[in-house]
Structure 1
Amino acid sequence: MNRNQSSHEQQSSVLIIYSWSEIVELISLVSLGWLIVFLFISSANAAVEHGDSLNEIEIHQVKSGLLLFKSEAGSRYQLAATLETDVKIEVTGMIARTRLKQTFKNDSGRWLEGVYVFPLPENAAVDRLRMQIGERMIEGVIKPREEAKRIYKKARNEGKKASLIEQERPNLFTNSVANIAPGEIVVIEIEYQQTVRYDNGEFSLRFPMAITPRYIPGAAVVSDEQIVAFNGNGWAMNTHPVGDASRITPPVFEGDKKINPVRLRVTINAGFTLADVESAYHRITVNHSVSNSTAVSLADAYEVIYAERDFELTWRPETASVPRAALFTEEKDGELYHLVMVLPPANLNGNDMRAARIGREVIYVIDTSGSMSGTSINQARRALSLALKRLHPGDRFNVISFNSTTDKLFSSVRKVTDQNLREAQRYVSSLEANGGTEIRGALEASLANQRESALVRQVVFLTDGSVGNEAELFTLIKQKLGGSRLFTIGIGSAPNSHFMSKAAQFGRGTFTYIGDVSEVESKMNDLFHKLETAVMTDLAVVFDDSESGSGVEVWPKRLPDLYQGEPLLLTARTKLNNQLVVVSGKRQNRAWRNSFQLQQSGNDSGIATMWARAKIAALMDRIHAGEKEKTIKPAVVNVALKHHLVSKYTSLVAVDVTPVRPISEVLDTQALPVNLPKGQAHARIFGRHAQTATPAQLQLMIGVMLLLAALFVWRHNKAVRVPGDV
């Protein structure tokens, strides 16, 4: 036997013996993992077993409206925290100021921390938090997000009352309220403001009240932090594309009754006489006063509705009062902040519109995922059917549907012929809603195969936008848009307005919202006018400040193209009071120019806040254009702290100085559930046997197993030696 052979045999013998050791070690680690999980779950259950038994009741004992969770005892239920919301909105000109009062009631016998994920308008500037304790009001302060969270956690652990407002998305926020005593009521007041929308002579205001469950793409990621705290209280685990999935997927209440009642009142101080005030989805009572003030309240019994669909209010001025321009100014800290609205003239009568109609290549994309089930898919099919009927000879088109996969009607765009249109109508009428919401594949397909053509290329996207990977999709649109224009149509009772509006912004198109089958035709006709007529481009604005070098700052910096009936809306910070402003643009190669005097006639409130909100939005948009987040974050934090605004990087926190919970008492964290939006089917979204709450015990088990597996691999790699190593 030579030396090499002997060495090889010895090495093989060692490897065989070590492999058996590895097997024994792996079995030991798995057993240890199961033991850790068992002991953790057992101790956690034991810690609350006594409290739970005190709060468990049987269904025949319920004498009033209560939120109940079914216990492991089968026929018994546990009392939970409940929420009521009172909303007061005051509209002055183009600014709406909203006070949102959330009342948390602890019906259980345990100390609770309530965590409530709630929607707000996508352009909301949240700037105030107050926590009411008895007769006292604790004012919230703005802090960098990490610092605010540390302050809140410290107060929570010390048994103090505390509240924390965090932004998950520009239209999605979380309110955490710590140390709610058994039987206690805690009131949290949140205030925000926004600009109202003006389009085709109509003002509109939306107050979102429901969250369509978001589709979370990608494989689950389990980190050390999640094993300790699970990072969030939602039903989804974090993934690589959506790192905060557990924070944006609140549990969905599954039951016959509705929860989360809402009272809502709106006061409109328009400054002119109103012709119509309407709400498409809720019955309202309207009272006009002699001072051009209009009061709107819900007409339902007790003026209460349940948070299951968005509230929308529209109002129109009398014909003689239709504004062509509006200016609002606020002086703050020695600087002037302006909100400017200018409505370019249409200059298109009926004959001009026919002459101006443009040849189009249109790609229609329709969402057929599970969240579109029920009334949403009916609205989408009808809207798309109307759109197909508006195509003209000489146009080209295709239809793409998507859920978990993407499907094209034709392999490439086709000419508009009777045969092709009939085939498209049959395809659309056969579509059903089921599966996931893989928007990325549909976007890529709709923006692919662009070629030089005299036709204007338009992508019309019909969806509820219920996805969690918005940032990834915005970046894709910026990269792949090319010469296309993207128009989004929000379908259903609670679409993701942040995704819909931003996708349209990055796509140089517009966003249309359709909340009911009855308004499909009117809303689509408005969109058709935009699609079929020339757009105003090359918009620019010049201030005297710009020439004097005194530092005018306008947001947005790059003005968007305007479609028929749309106004130019911008905010500016200047130092000069009385100066000339010139706005210019082009439509059908015809120049348009308008000038007006920027002069402070009064001191409107909230304009500085809207300027800061617009600047933060513009800074965040630069991340999707490829800039590093670490370079954008300091600028956002600086603006948000100066103007007291909640942002992705700043939060509002309120803490009472007096401890109320004895440290010996256990504090349970409870994620408050939300209603499934009206018209949606739970089984189509979550599956027949879905669980709406986070499977925390399962996540813990998976996390522990993955950590132990990583330890095993590390030890194995450390033990293995390459032949020849010393």
Structure 2
Amino acid sequence: MKRGLFFLLAFVLFLSATYAFAEDDCGDCDRSLAPRLWVPDGDPAIDRLPLKSSKADIVIDGPIARVTVTQRYGNAGQRPINARYVFPGSTRAAVQGLTMKIGPRTIRAKIKEKEEAKKIFEAAKQEGKHAALLDQKRPNVFMMDVANIMPSDEVELTLQYSELLVPDQGVYELVYPTVVGPRYGGDPVALARDAEWVANPYVKDKADGGNSALVETGIQVHLASPIPVSDLRSVQHKIATNWLDDTRVEVGLDASERDAGNRDFILRFRLQGEQINSGLMTYEWNGEHYFLIMAQPPKRVAAEQVMKREYLFVVDVSGSMHGFPLDTAREVMFELLSKLRPEESFNILFFSGGSTVLSPSPLPATPANLQRAMDMMKAYDGGGGTELVPALKTAFGMPRTPDAARSIAVVTDGYISAEREAYDLIRRNLNATNLFAFGIGSSVNRYLIESMAHAGEGEPFVITGSNEAAGVGERFRRYVEAPLMSRIKAQGKGVELYDMEPAEIPVMLAERPIVVFGKYRQAQAGAAIELTGATAQDDYRASLSLADEGRRNPAELLPILWARQRLMRLSDRQGNDAELNRDAIVDLGLRYSLLTQYTSFVAVDETVVNHDAGATDVKQPLPLPQGVSELALARPVPEPELGWLMLLLIGLFSGECLIRRRDHGRR
């Protein structure tokens, strides 16, 4: 009994501290821990925007993108400031460097284990030194802390990362995220774990004076290819292009883009028409030989026989989906439902704080049932929290059609903080079910969307607006019905291959190249790497000779990209099991100078500038992603709920006292 009371007391105190933290910090927080604009004891006119500009310089050389992000902080106030800024990155980014420039001095950050880096930063902060700390909160969410920005100081932080661009059906896509959407934190455990970054303030609207236009956003892309570039377009921004020739082009934001920092920058293009740029790249580093294969897959052929199928759609109707995202989700659902056949069955689970189902059991996909589904979809306007994990538990437990292969399609913006809990659950419930994830919105949580799809052995889709909804149903059907290739293997011929990522290549659903990173040794004359697989018509075989290996500039990034691929397996998509791989993750981070969940970059200028060692903590407010309603910022849990917990604690304590008195009397 004492032990139970102890844990209950600890839980109540934890909740008390959590809500006290939220109220003390912002005065207008929400259940998602995303407060409105807030500066403690600050002058809103001068203290709330230490970040002056954020600019990205992106070089795309073949299939590899190198991104340099420069953030400039300035203090226009009258007192020292410690600034915190939460910002996004690509889900595939290998973050490999950070430098800090203050006046004429440039300091290169060092990679350290996270706790050691934090201690170094806090010590420098207390000693009144300029310092910067870069942490990874999610593979696509980073947090920058900058200490002791003095009045009139200008601090420039430069972040470098690289990523591999993999085409889908011949289309290459560069995604440069510009804003982190608000996260719903319904789970108290996840809430406590993520409160440090999830509680970042969001501006209410332009009248608040804090829209993204106040932070200058710049994007410049330099694209170079060994073969002609075609069909270049930006999905969500107006761009200005300068073609140097048919293989080289410079891309920037159009002068009319005044508010570019509230949605993902997405650039799409093709190389040599419909063909995929296949090939082999190698590089030697620290005595090891690294390779990267990108091999063109066979053409998709329709399966002669398709299994009987059932579809379960799990649709987000929470507050963050209100308006534009939910309107787009309706169009996506119409596309998906319209592709169902009468002999197939389906059901829909709508979720926000709770969940509602279209039918207790799957329905045949008749016109009448499809119309009933769309009518129910139209009835939702968006409101409440985003309880995705409970919704997935309900979905996996729902009745299913016997002898039918079930596919689950999740439609959401992904604004939750419990990503790992979600795909842990998916991995435990695969059985005969695969899962496809549809991200809806201008700045979706791609980490969640991609990870859920990979955990569910399906495919991720991101739909930024209604103009992209058309055709998504047909793409979905193609992936579900006819797997492109299975039993894929990479083997060395006259060479030993090892440390390959992925070690096991899954069934290929999409028409994107086979991508394999790895290392090789003991290469003989005429050595080659062979890829084999089975298709619906024939066996597949591709051979790439090491004698024809690529020697172009981006090859120098292969060790870092290989390490990032391994991190994805050990960390990003391992859910709560990632802790088991902690030592391996730390070793990769330190050896390859990479940001991970257990390693951080820290930079310290040894000159003491703040002799009083006192500074005001300021959190850089973020804009809401374009099209996301303020309903994404839910209201706080009412105070009486905490009161009821306290009454329960008092009641249990009183009950224990009575029991002890009774037992004492019996003695």
- Report the Cα offset of residue 448 of structure 1: 2.7
Which residue in 1 is equivalent to 2:57?
88
Q: Does 1:654 align with 2:603?
A: yes
Deviations 1:231-285 (A, max 9, x none): xxxxxxxx35652233233110123152322100011112210111100110111
Shift in CA distance, 134/554, structure 1 to aligned 2, threshold 3 Å: same
- Report the Cα offset of residue 418 of structure 1: 2.1
Shift in CA distance, 251/627, structure 1 to aligned 2, threshold 3 Å: closer
Residue 307 of structure 1 aligns to a residue in which SS? helix
- Counterpart of 1:608, as a letter, is P
Number of matched residues? Answer: 619
Which residue in 2 is equivalent to 1:555?
501
Kindly indicate whether the alpha-carbon contact (under 8 Å) linking 1:80 and 1:108 is maintained by their aligned counterparts in 2. no
- Report the Cα offset of residue 354 of structure 1: 7.8
- Report the Cα offset of residue 411 of structure 1: 0.7
Residue 193 of structure 2 aligns to a residue in which SS? coil
- Report the Cα offset of residue 82 of structure 1: 3.0
Kindly indicate whether the alpha-carbon contact (under 8 Å) linking 2:563 and 2:592 is maintained by their aligned counterparts in 1. yes
Which residue in 2 is equivalent to 1:174?
143
Alignment of 1:72-471 (within 5 A): 79-83=47-51, 84-219=53-188, 239-240=189-190, 243-256=193-206, 257=209, 258-259=211-212, 260-290=215-245, 292-301=247-256, 305-319=259-273, 322-323=275-276, 325-348=278-301, 353=302, 355=304, 359-449=308-398, 454-471=403-420
Residue 521 of structure 1 aligns to a residue in which SS? coil
Which residue in 2 is equivalent to 1:685?
632
Kindly indicate whether the alpha-carbon contact (under 8 Å) linking 1:404 and 1:437 is maintained by their aligned counterparts in 2. yes
CA distance in 2, matches of 1:434, 1:375: 13
Which residue in 1 is equivalent to 2:664?
723
Kindly indicate whether the alpha-carbon contact (under 8 Å) linking 1:462 and 1:489 is maintained by their aligned counterparts in 2. yes
- Report the Cα offset of residue 78 of structure 1: 5.5
Kindly indicate whether the alpha-carbon contact (under 8 Å) linking 1:584 and 1:592 is maintained by their aligned counterparts in 2. yes
- Counterpart of 1:308, as a letter, is N
Kindly indicate whether the alpha-carbon contact (under 8 Å) linking 1:129 and 1:188 is maintained by their aligned counterparts in 2. yes
Residue 470 of structure 2 aligns to a residue in which SS? helix
- Report the Cα offset of residue 591 of structure 1: 3.0
Query: Structure 2: any 5+ residue segments left out of the alignment?
Result: 1-12, 26-35
Kindly indicate whether the alpha-carbon contact (under 8 Å) linking 1:196 and 1:203 is maintained by their aligned counterparts in 2. yes
CA distance in 2, matches of 1:68, 1:206: 28
Shift in CA distance, 382/347, structure 1 to aligned 2, threshold 3 Å: closer
Task: Give 1:619's match in structure 2, choosing from 566, 570, 574.
Answer: 570
CA distance in 2, matches of 1:565, 1:247: 37
CA distance in 1, matches of 2:591, 2:481: 44
- Report the Cα offset of residue 677 of structure 1: 0.7
Kindly indicate whether the alpha-carbon contact (under 8 Å) linking 1:197 and 1:205 is maintained by their aligned counterparts in 2. no
- Report the Cα offset of residue 525 of structure 1: 3.5
Runs of 4+ in 1 over 4 A off after TM superposition: 67-73, 75-78, 354-358, 449-454, 719-722
Residue 421 of structure 2 aligns to a residue in which SS? helix
Residue 198 of structure 1 aligns to a residue in which SS? coil
Give the number of the structure with larger relative contact order, counting CA–CA contacts within 8 Å between residues 6 or more apart: 2
Shift in CA distance, 611/70, structure 1 to aligned 2, threshold 3 Å: closer
Residue 500 of structure 1 aligns to a residue in which SS? helix
CA distance in 1, matches of 2:507, 2:44: 59
- Report the Cα offset of residue 393 of structure 1: 2.3
TM-score scaled by structure 2? 0.86
- Report the Cα offset of residue 197 of structure 1: 3.0
CA distance in 1, matches of 2:195, 2:100: 28
Residue 117 of structure 2 aligns to a residue in which SS? helix
- Report the Cα offset of residue 164 of structure 1: 0.5
- Of the two, which has the highest radius of gyration? 1
CA distance in 1, matches of 2:558, 2:464: 30
Kindly indicate whether the alpha-carbon contact (under 8 Å) linking 2:40 and 2:618 is maintained by their aligned counterparts in 1. no
Which residue in 1 is equivalent to 2:10?
none
CA distance in 2, matches of 1:172, 1:246: 12
Deviates more, 1:550-559 or 1:488-497: 550-559
Kindly indicate whether the alpha-carbon contact (under 8 Å) linking 1:70 and 1:78 is maintained by their aligned counterparts in 2. no
CA distance in 1, matches of 2:543, 2:109: 42
Q: Does 1:667 align with 2:667?
A: no
Deviates more, 1:437-446 or 1:153-162: 437-446
Shift in CA distance, 720/455, structure 1 to aligned 2, threshold 3 Å: closer
CA distance in 1, matches of 2:56, 2:416: 27
Query: Structure 1: any 5+ residue segments left out of the alignment?
Result: 1-29, 45-66, 220-238
Q: Identity of paired residues, percent?
A: 28
Task: Give 2:432's match in structure 1, choosing from 456, 462, 483.
Answer: 483
Which residue in 2 is equivalent to 1:55?
none
Task: Give 1:609's match in structure 2, choosing from 560, 563, 572.
Answer: 560
TM-score scaled by structure 1? 0.79
CA distance in 2, matches of 1:542, 1:450: 43
CA distance in 2, matches of 1:264, 1:621: 27
Kindly indicate whether the alpha-carbon contact (under 8 Å) linking 1:69 and 1:79 is maintained by their aligned counterparts in 2. no
Kindly indicate whether the alpha-carbon contact (under 8 Å) linking 1:80 and 1:107 is maintained by their aligned counterparts in 2. no
Kindly indicate whether the alpha-carbon contact (under 8 Å) linking 1:141 and 1:654 is maintained by their aligned counterparts in 2. yes
CA distance in 1, matches of 2:179, 2:125: 28
Shift in CA distance, 357/655, structure 1 to aligned 2, threshold 3 Å: same
Shift in CA distance, 72/188, structure 1 to aligned 2, threshold 3 Å: closer
Kindly indicate whether the alpha-carbon contact (under 8 Å) linking 1:212 and 1:371 is maintained by their aligned counterparts in 2. no
Residue 552 of structure 1 aligns to a residue in which SS? strand
Kindly indicate whether the alpha-carbon contact (under 8 Å) linking 2:276 and 2:513 is maintained by their aligned counterparts in 1. no
- Counterpart of 1:560, as a letter, is P
Deviations 1:396-451 (A, max 9, x none): 11111110111110111111222212211211222221111111122123223576
Shift in CA distance, 610/628, structure 1 to aligned 2, threshold 3 Å: closer
Kindly indicate whether the alpha-carbon contact (under 8 Å) linking 1:81 and 1:108 is maintained by their aligned counterparts in 2. no
Shift in CA distance, 415/522, structure 1 to aligned 2, threshold 3 Å: closer
CA distance in 2, matches of 1:249, 1:345: 47
Deviations 1:621-641 (A, max 9, x none): 6743x7572x41111111110
- Report the Cα offset of residue 153 of structure 1: 0.5
Which residue in 2 is equivalent to 1:5?
none
- Report the Cα offset of residue 662 of structure 1: 1.2
CA distance in 2, matches of 1:393, 1:590: 31
Deviates more, 1:366-375 or 1:571-580: 571-580
CA distance in 2, matches of 1:150, 1:610: 29
